[in-house]
Structure 1
């Protein structure tokens, strides 16, 4: 299990809020993954609302330097079921993500997470 932890800012919903990404195995295609975070205020106006999505790693490729480019929740059925999906890169102990909404708009870029547990 790999656990990455960082902070998310996505105005007006999240301001420096905790985000955690947990991979079941070793960040491979089809690997199970969960993204958990807390909104500062969700779209319904609820303060400190919790949020989580689970699904799979999609379109993971390893580049020449050993970094992994990946997508999370981007398979067609997962995109339909989840409002947000993610693109990212694993490089050493770091995971960098971009969060997109259901329509494909990038809503939060350069989300930096560090490997916390393996």
Structure 2
């Protein structure tokens, strides 16, 4: 438990830096990913550790200070709306018309592991509640 807390604090510290994240490296094509959607503002790719039959991430191509959802400002509203649109657009292409879940983990207590805002989109099975 103590090592998990230490890791969470280390990750939270990284949130405050401008160091490239693994997602920045996917955007720049330094790291390969199974990309399923891309436009000028967003990228969607399959999660490497899926938690549902369909599990993909939607990320902004330019972080613009969005390391966490709690860092969003009014200026981010158009981008946040676009990310949600991409999530549903790709979900429909992935045959998730019966329903899907969109999750944003924020900060150490929210289990955020990469400090580059990202939406998890999961579906293809009945989602349980409560989720955590």
The answer to whether TM tops 0.5 is no
TM-score when scaled to structure 1?
0.30
TM-score when scaled to structure 2?
0.28
Q: Higher strand proportion, which one? A: 1
Q: Higher helix proportion, which one? A: 2
Which of these two proteins has the greater Rg computed from alpha carbons?
Answer: 2
Tell me: higher relative CO, structure 1 or 2? Use CA pairs within 8 A at least 6 residues apart. 2
